A and B are shown apart, each in its own frame.
Chain A
Amino acid sequence: MNDTIRTRGPSLFEAVGVGRRFDDGTEAIGSVSLSARSGGFVAILGPSGCGKSTLLRILAGLDTATAGRIEWSEGPPAKGDVAFVFQEPTLLPWASLWDNVYLPLRLAGRTRADTGAAVDGAIHHVGLDGFAHVRPGQLSGGMKMRASVARALVTGPRLLLMDEPFAALDEITRFRLNDDLLSVWQAQRCTVLFVTHSVFEAVYLAERVIVMSPRPGRIVGDVAIDLPYPRRAALRTEVSYAALCRRVSDLLAETAS
């Protein structure tokens, strides 16, 4: 697969001069213009409090921009077109894994019988076969996060927004989930916007890394990661990967100073 072809193509959305000022006057995002190609994987990197999460929330429709606009090339997203994975697994503790994954479909008024295959499929995709009737309390941190990803995928979203989803996990689990996320992304062909504060994670996963400045957040760098997919763990020790990490780190250091 050729990266230069991959990173081009029709965009899913275009954010034009998006800004967010809170009621107390603090400006979370300055003026952010950003587009993502349909089916692309974009990582957003920045120091804490740079408005990364706010930007995701605006795209999800959970927050409203106080400046600028977002244009959707295929019209505004319908319910289930945009999925969100939070930093915490955010599962219903009293419901089984199956019921948790079924939740978005249930909220859309779909029946269990009608959607059983989709739920089973999403659980299978994240490698949690056999755990369908287990409650979140019995799952490990990594498995809960997988469940959260399965729930996000179950509606077949066009845009998957992920807000530091693996930040709380240990490194071994995080690396495995990184690889699994990439294979899920390649199978599902949805657009992923992945917020992280880890340079290494951003470069490993994404075909484009957007670097943001501290509050009020602005885009200070847009680095194409021209590493071929599928990416494997060996990539983490390759020179080309290290060089890109270095470049992104420098950008981040510049903006922080």
Chain B
Amino acid sequence: MSRSDRLPPLLIGIAILVAWELLVRWLKVPVYVLPGPLAILQALWTDGPLLLRSLWTTLEITFAALFLAALGGVALAFVMTLSRWLERSLLPYAVIAQVTPIVAIAPLIIIWVNDAFLSLVVCAWIVAFFPILANTIAGFRSADRNLRDLFRLYGASRWQVQYLLEAPTALPYFLAGLRISGGLALIGAVVAEFVAGTGGTASGLAFRILEAGYRLQIPRLFAALVLLSAAGIAIYAVLSALSNYVLARWHEGASRT
């Protein structure tokens, strides 16, 4: 985006914040119902250290889940594309894991997995791994037909086809999946924390939101929400930048003149 593209949304954002602050003051809305932006900013400042520590806990879960999702998604895609039979037998279970609401199975996972951190990572992983798996499989399958014929003509092994043809073809698809999964891993981590949070085992950002809600510390609740959104945006931005960097190298021939 150029600077002139960025200006209109920025102006609208500022206008909304100003209107919000003015309305809250003018209508005398109690701070435990809706705090104004300035109150939230103050909460961010005073509760900052506490909230950032919690955010880091949540991000640790998110990154661990995303890393395992990338690893597991790609590994599963490799295995599933080995044969149609394998894909047909395994994919339904991946779909079941994907469509089952994580809130519904999170309590079970928290009971089954003894370690608190690990149980949250598992929950976030279940949410995050499917886009990577589905995209990578699609990428493997989208290899050029003539190139497949060429590999067959020279008697390439299944492994050579995967490694030299299908994996490079799947790279942009994988990166698109990774970008989606980044946001989902954060959502999965927060949802799992919400479920586990009542047990008092976790100190992630979701727990802080619950805690602030119970104590009617609504500005702190909003401050935690702001941090959560910022973290989500940052994850997306970093993964987009990574994706662009890798693809620019991959398509180097097209971009360099």
Across-interface contacts of A88 in B (CB, < 8 A)? 146
Task: Tell whether, in the assembled complex, residue B156 and residue A94 are in contact, meaning their CB atoms are under 8 Å apart.
Answer: no
Residue of B nearest to A106 (CB): B164
Q: Is A67 an interface residue (CB 8 A)?
A: no
Chain A interface size, as a band, is 20 to 34
The answer for the CA separation of A88 and B146 in the assembled complex, in Å, is: 8
Across-interface contacts of A108 in B (CB, < 8 A)? 154-155
Contact pattern, A 146-176, Cβ under 8 Å of B = 1, otherwise 0: 0000000001000000000000000000000
Which stretch (A119-127, A134-142, A247-255) binds chain B? A134-142
Q: Is B50 an interface residue (CB 8 A)?
A: no
Q: Is A17 an interface residue (CB 8 A)?
A: no
Q: Is A104 an interface residue (CB 8 A)?
A: yes
Across-interface contacts of B160 in A (CB, < 8 A)? 107
Within 8 A of B (CB), among A54-72: 57, 60-62
Pick from B153, B252, B257: contact of A60, CB below 8 A.
B153
Pick from A79, A84, A93: contact of B155, CB below 8 A.
A79
Across-interface contacts of A83 in B (CB, < 8 A)? 153
Q: Is B47 an interface residue (CB 8 A)?
A: no
Within 8 A of A (CB), among B229-257: 250-257
Residue of B nearest to A61 (CB): B153
Contact pattern, A 80-115, Cβ under 8 Å of B = 1, otherwise 0: 101110101010111000000001101110000000
Pick from B154, B253, B257: contact of A135, CB below 8 A.
B253
Task: Tell whether, in the assembled complex, residue B164 and residue A84 are in contact, meaning their CB atoms are under 8 Å apart.
Answer: no
Across-interface contacts of A138 in B (CB, < 8 A)? 253-254, 256-257
Q: Is B149 an interface residue (CB 8 A)?
A: yes
Task: Tell whether, in the assembled complex, residue B253 and residue A62 are in contact, meaning their CB atoms are under 8 Å apart.
Answer: no
Task: Tell whether, in the assembled complex, residue A62 and residue B154 are in contact, meaning their CB atoms are under 8 Å apart.
Answer: no
Contact pattern, B 145-182, Cβ under 8 Å of A = 1, otherwise 0: 01101111111100010001100100100000000000
Residue of B nearest to A63 (CB): B149
Across-interface contacts of B165 in A (CB, < 8 A)? 92
Q: Is B144 an interface residue (CB 8 A)?
A: yes
Task: Tell whether, in the assembled complex, residue B147 and residue A135 are in contact, meaning their CB atoms are under 8 Å apart.
Answer: no
The answer for the CA separation of A83 and B150 in the assembled complex, in Å, is: 9
Across-interface contacts of B250 in A (CB, < 8 A)? 94
Across-interface contacts of A62 in B (CB, < 8 A)? 149, 152-153
Across-interface contacts of B154 in A (CB, < 8 A)? 79-80, 103-104, 107-108, 155
The answer for the CA separation of A110 and B160 in the assembled complex, in Å, is: 13
Task: Tell whether, in the assembled complex, residue B252 and residue A135 are in contact, meaning their CB atoms are under 8 Å apart.
Answer: yes
Q: A86-B146, A137-B254, A138-B253 are in contact. Are A92 and B168 (CB under 8 A)?
A: yes
Residue of B nearest to A136 (CB): B253
The answer for the CA separation of A134 and B153 in the assembled complex, in Å, is: 25
State how many angstroms separate the Cβ of A60 from the closest Cβ of chain B: 6
The answer for the CA separation of A79 and B153 in the assembled complex, in Å, is: 7
State how many angstroms separate the Cβ of B106 from the closest Cβ of chain A: 40
Across-interface contacts of B153 in A (CB, < 8 A)? 60-62, 82-84
Task: Tell whether, in the assembled complex, residue A84 and residue B253 are in contact, meaning their CB atoms are under 8 Å apart.
Answer: no
- Interface centre among B155, B160, B168, by most chain A C-beta atoms within 10 angstroms, is B155
The answer for the CA separation of A108 and B147 in the assembled complex, in Å, is: 16
Across-interface contacts of B256 in A (CB, < 8 A)? 138
Pick from A82, A104, A134: contact of B253, CB below 8 A.
A134
State how many angstroms separate the Cβ of A98 from the closest Cβ of chain B: 13
Task: Tell whether, in the assembled complex, residue B146 and residue A107 are in contact, meaning their CB atoms are under 8 Å apart.
Answer: no
Residue of A nearest to B165 (CB): A92
State how many angstroms separate the Cβ of A49 from the closest Cβ of chain B: 18
Across-interface contacts of A93 in B (CB, < 8 A)? 251, 253-254
Q: A60-B153, A137-B253 are in contact. Are A94 and B146 (CB under 8 A)?
A: no
Residue of B nearest to A62 (CB): B149
The answer for the CA separation of A61 and B151 in the assembled complex, in Å, is: 12
Pick from B150, B168, B251, B252: contact of A84, CB below 8 A.
B150
- Give 30 A-B contacts (CB < 8 Å), ordered by A residue: A57-B149, A61-B152, A62-B149, A79-B154, A79-B155, A80-B154, A82-B153, A83-B153, A86-B146, A88-B146, A90-B147, A90-B150, A92-B168, A93-B253, A93-B254, A94-B168, A94-B171, A94-B250, A103-B150, A104-B154, A106-B164, A107-B160, A108-B154, A108-B155, A135-B254, A136-B253, A137-B254, A137-B255, A138-B254, A138-B256
- Name A's B-contacting residues (CB within 8 A): 57, 60-62, 79-80, 82-84, 86, 88, 90, 92-94, 103-104, 106-108, 134-139, 155
With A92-B165, A107-B154, A135-B253 known, 5 other A-B pairs at CB within 8 A are A86-B150, A104-B154, A108-B155, A135-B252, A137-B254
